[in-house]
Structure 1
């Protein structure tokens, strides 16, 4: 479980996050949604320690991560898997080397053990045998899957995905969503996904938090969302004719 308490974050005069309270439960795909500039990615980065909040706390299974020093955070960071928006693969490394990079940092496994783990992760994302390819040889969807393979290489307790479907076609997006759901079920991890993709929201949104202008305006399931009377949420979710049609069918 991940718990955020009274979290604030500003960059200069820009107050990005305002008194955020939220609990992300294990074994669920937890989504953070909201418009551009609402603070979604900033919240994710504050949770994992890429940004330091100005106020508030972040707890990983009741351990106060916010006030740990660099060395004290390492055991928790070993349990975190992260998929960045652009996959963040190293262009000069092969697929296999990209996956074993994290293992090199955080484990004392033998070279063969690392390769075996890379092979397992590649099989889980349906990229078996692609070990020696370079990122330039991969499609956008394949890069995302390699990023996910790297994220699960340490058997994470916490999985974070920042806009996993960004730049992907609808069919590939569905495959990525299904993969994230399957891995959450398999590893029983606490999964937190930042997204603006309404297909993802309707497909895998077991818990959804809606951010608006840096504040938490609403939380619930995707079914709860269809019946919400929160104007700001409805303006965001039902902006497209497709979602308006879906509401008429589902409600």
Structure 2
């Protein structure tokens, strides 16, 4: 479980986050949604320690992460998997080397054990015979799956995904969503996904946190979202005809 309490973050005079509270439970796909500039990615970075909040606390299974120094955070970071928006693969490394990179940092596995683990993770995301390929030789969807394979290489308790469907076609986006959902259930990890993809929201949104102008405006499941009377949420969610049809179908 991850809990955040009263998170504030500013950059200069720009107050991006204004007192965010939330609880993200294990075994669920927890989504953070909102318009551009609402603070979604900043909140994610505050949670994983890429930004230090100006005020507030972050807890990983009741351990206060925000008060820890670099060394104290290492055990938690060993249990953390991260899929970045652009996959963040190293162009000069092969697929196999990209996955092993994390294992080199945090484990004392032998080289043979690392290769075996890399193969297992690639197989888990339905990629085979790509070990020696470079990122430039992969499609966008394959890069995302390699990024997920690297993220699960340490069998994480906490999985973070920043816009996992960005730049992907609808069919590939659905495959990535299904994979994230399967891995969340398989590892019983606490999964946080930053997204603006309404297909993801409706498909895998066990818990949804909606941010508006840096504030928490709503939280609940995707089913509850369809019945919400929060105007700011409705303006964001039902901007597309598809979502309007989904809402109308339950009335």
Is 1:31 the counterpart of 2:31 in the alignment?
yes
Aligned to 2:219: 219
Gap regions ≥5 residues in structure 2: none
Aligned to 2:203: 203
Task: Give distance in 1, aligned partners of 2:101 and 2:128.
Answer: 18
TM-score by length of 1: 0.99
Aligned to 2:71: 71
Task: Give distance in 2, aligned partners of 1:28 and 1:246.
Answer: 23
Aligned to 1:178: 178
Structure 1 segments of 4+ aligned residues over 4 angstroms from their partners: none
Aligned to 1:230: 230
Deviation at 1:248, TM superposition (A): 1.0
Task: Give distance in 1, aligned partners of 2:206 and 2:237.
Answer: 16
Provide the secondary structure at the position in 2 that maps to 1:155.
coil
Q: What is the Cα-based RMSD across aligned positions, in Å?
A: 0.5
Aligned to 2:12: 12
Task: Give distance in 2, aligned partners of 1:197 and 1:6.
Answer: 26
Gap regions ≥5 residues in structure 1: none
Deviation at 1:246, TM superposition (A): 1.3
Aligned to 1:190: 190
Aligned to 2:142: 142
Deviation at 1:250, TM superposition (A): 2.9
TM-score by length of 2: 0.99
Aligned to 2:87: 87
Deviation at 1:45, TM superposition (A): 0.2
Aligned to 2:62: 62
Task: Give distance in 2, aligned partners of 1:196 and 1:132.
Answer: 33
Task: Give distance in 1, aligned partners of 2:72 and 2:94.
Answer: 31
